[in-house]
Amino acid sequence: MPATTRLLVTGATGFVGRAVVAAFAHDHAVRAAARQAPQRSFPGSVEVVRHPDLSQRFDWAPILDGVDHVVHLAGIAHTGSGDPAPYDRVNREATAELAAAAAQAGVRRLVFVSSLRAQSGPAADHVLTESDEAKPTDAYGRSKLAAEAAVKTAGAPFTILRPVLLYGPGVKGNFALLLRAARSSWPLPVKDFTNRRSLLGVDNFISALRFVLATPATAGETYIAADPGIPPRLPDVIATLRRAQGRRPSLVPMPTHYIESALRLIGRDALWHRIGGNLQADPGKLIAAGWQPAHDSKSGLAALA
């Protein structure tokens, strides 16, 4: 894309949004949109615009004025509530409103960053591809799948990405908890975990964004985004992080059914599925289209540590 291309990034103050803004600011005119002022400054060339909370309706037209491409990251993830209404309003309706406004504004490409949870629950019994029937299992995943449908019918040229769990500097959420565990001095009872879960380095994610925005053939497509290669096991992740810090892995055996039973006993079935279930996703469709990821998960995790 030419250097004069104007790129709108929503959700610009989040972990992924900040990384996207910083990466594209080097060679694009970036407009960073968020509901709150950034706590840390963006590069000086970045135009910052604020909008109301996505739970409210507002006019996207001024924010889209002069924009060529949109990367839509804004939304809500798991709030701990089973109430579908906030997810539906913020993840589906607000996305539908943005997509309709993008079509009206003549945006050349809208990249909607969905989630693998639009396709699957927290665990799956086989390696997931885009050809699998989408079967989200919670309000978050269903809202993301509904948002995908809204994007497809809005009339703007689009690409949908379904990333797996992202990691990188400043990561929050579940992966931040994993990092804290790896940085602790305690031996961890995860040696017997054999399940594999796909991960995605934020730099690989940014390269996927660059690829789909620059490749006309990706318009109208949906892609899983994940690091290439065999996904790591939980003990692989901890061991890689600790070895990269010059430490021994210090992993000890414990039958996984003990951990599963304890979590189920206290009503944390979903947490068990997230740490003890398999969730492997194949980025082969995106790679076959021409995407060239920079690294696999082992190399990415070592660099993060």
Q: Is residue 101 part of a domain?
A: yes
Q: Is residue 300 part of a domain?
A: no
Q: Which helix (H) or strand (E) holds 191?
A: none
Q: Answer yes or no: do 220 and 75 share one domain.
A: yes
CB-based burial of residue 231 (10 Å sphere; 0-12 exposed, 13-18 middle, 19+ buried)?
Answer: buried
**pLDDT tens, the chain, 305 aa long:** 444 689 999 999 999 999 999 999 999 999 999 998 877 788 889 999 999 999 999 999 999 999 999 999 999 987 666 789 999 999 999 999 999 999 999 999 999 999 999 999 999 999 999 999 999 999 999 999 999 999 999 999 999 999 999 999 988 877 888 888 899 999 999 999 999 999 999 999 999 999 999 999 999 999 999 999 999 999 999 999 999 989 999 999 988 887 778 777 777 777 667 777 899 999 999 999 999 999 999 999 999 88
d(CA 213, CA 159): 8
Start-to-end CA distance of the chain, whole Å, equals 33
Q: Answer yes or no: do 90 and 20 share one domain.
A: yes
Residues 6+ apart with CB under 8 A from 241: 179, 182, 183, 301, 302, 304, 305
Q: Answer yes or no: do 74 and 126 share one domain.
A: yes
Q: Is residue 237 part of a domain?
A: yes
Q: Answer yes or no: do 57 and 203 share one domain.
A: yes
CATH number at residue 142: 3.40.50.720
Q: Is residue 305 part of a domain?
A: no
Q: Which pLDDT value is given to residue 2?
A: 46
Q: Is residue 299 part of a domain?
A: no
d(CA 102, CA 157): 9
Q: Answer yes or no: do 216 and 102 share one domain.
A: yes
Domains held by the chain: number: 2
Q: Which pLDDT value is given to residue 172?
A: 85
Q: Answer yes or no: do 203 and 75 share one domain.
A: yes
Q: Is residue 111 part of a domain?
A: yes
Q: Is residue 301 part of a domain?
A: no
Q: Which pLDDT value is given to residue 87?
A: 95
Q: Tokens 């948002």 identify what position? A: 147
d(CA 245, CA 182): 10
d(CA 297, CA 230): 9
> Identity (one letter) of the amino acid at 215?
T
Q: Answer yes or no: do 165 and 286 share one domain.
A: yes
Q: Answer yes or no: do 165 and 285 share one domain.
A: yes
Taking only the tens place, the pLDDT of each residue in 251-284 is: 999 888 877 787 777 777 776 677 778 999 999 9
Q: Answer yes or no: do 69 and 28 share one domain.
A: yes
Q: Answer yes or no: do 55 and 85 share one domain.
A: yes
d(CA 159, CA 219): 5
d(CA 294, CA 143): 31
> Identity (one letter) of the amino acid at 22?
A
Closest residue by Cα to residue 2 from 84, 92, 82, 69: 69
The two tokens of residue 255 are 């039958």
Q: If DSSP codes are grouped into helix, strand and coil, which group holds residue 113?
A: strand
Q: Answer yes or no: do 133 and 270 share one domain.
A: no
Q: Answer yes or no: do 113 and 187 share one domain.
A: no
Domain that holds residue 144: 6-169+198-227+279-294
Q: Is residue 216 part of a domain?
A: yes
